[in-house]
A and B are shown apart, each in its own frame.
Chain A
Amino acid sequence: NAGVTQTPKFRILKIGQSMTLQCTQDMNHNYMYWYRQDPGMGLKLIYYSVGAGITDKGEVPNGYNVSRSTTEDFPLRLELAAPSQTSVYFCASVKVTGEKLFFGSGTQLSVL
């Protein structure tokens, strides 16, 4: 199993551009999460999904959108990139809700 796969690993965006961060898992987990990690601030939950077609906001959802059309994929969309969205983004999945998260390798995003 590949586990949780995120692409791209690095990206530089200009202010106002849009992009999609991809996340795929092959463990047949129903629960998937997007976190952002800022220096010294821990991991903040952006959005989560409890199954195909079901998503909900986390602590910091503004400026982001998600969709979950299949069990495997949980993409994160940035519509109008802002410098405040410069961060490292981690996707995670889990078999039992809220426990033993498996993280992807992360996407380092810079908005300039």
Chain B
Amino acid sequence: GENVEQHPSTLSVQEGDSAVIKCTYSDSASNYFPWYKQELGKRPQLIIDIRSNVGEKKDQRIAVTLNKTAKHFSLHITETQPEDSAVYFCAAKGYRGSGYSTLTFGKGTMLLVSP
């Protein structure tokens, strides 16, 4: 099955700096890669996603890049703000033996933005 590795596990930045979180996946058939943000005590919420036919996608201060050949994708947050502090999860859509697809998640990155 799909395996997703995520780095780093923790990331501390100063307000205004950029933050980059990287993930690799194992299944070359995976074609959908979302990123979720989870604030303390809350549910994960989708912040951006990318499909395998696109190399980059931007939404205001966040962007995701995908390198299909190397099987890795990254989340970029520019001009970080204290409210960006949260745990971020990457995920990859893989296909199970049943033929249906499910999301496999990375272990998460705790981002701390200091004022």
A residues with CB within 8 A of B: 31, 33, 35, 40-45, 48, 50, 56, 58-59, 90, 97-101, 103-106
Contacts and interface: CB of A to CB of B under 8 A. Distances in A.
Contact of A43 (B42, B89, B96): B89
B100 A48 contact: yes
Nearest to A108: B41
Interface residues of B, number: 25
A13 B66 CA distance: 43
Given A42-B108, A59-B1, A98-B32, A104 B43 contact: yes
A98 B107 contact: no
Contacts of A42: 6, 89, 105-108
Interface centre among A31, A35, A103, by most chain B C-beta atoms within 10 angstroms, is: A103
Contact of A90 (B1, B32, B44, B96): B44
Identify whether the interface residues of B are mostly helix, strand, loop, or mixed: strand
Per CB-CB distance, the 9 closest pairs between chain A and chain B, nearest first, are A98-B101, A103-B43, A42-B107, A42-B105, A43-B105, A98-B93, A97-B101, A56-B98, A98-B102
B49 A100 contact: yes
Interface string B16-28: 0000000000000
Nearest to B106: A42
B12 interface: no
A99 B96 contact: no
Given A40-B107, A45-B104, A103-B45, 5 more contacts: A50-B100, A90-B44, A99-B32, A99-B93, A105-B42
- Residue among A35, A99, A104, A105 with the most chain B CB within 10 A? A99
Contact of A105 (B1, B43, B102, B106): B43
Contacts of A100: 34, 46, 49
Contacts of B32: 98-99
Contact of B100 (A43, A59, A98, A104): A98
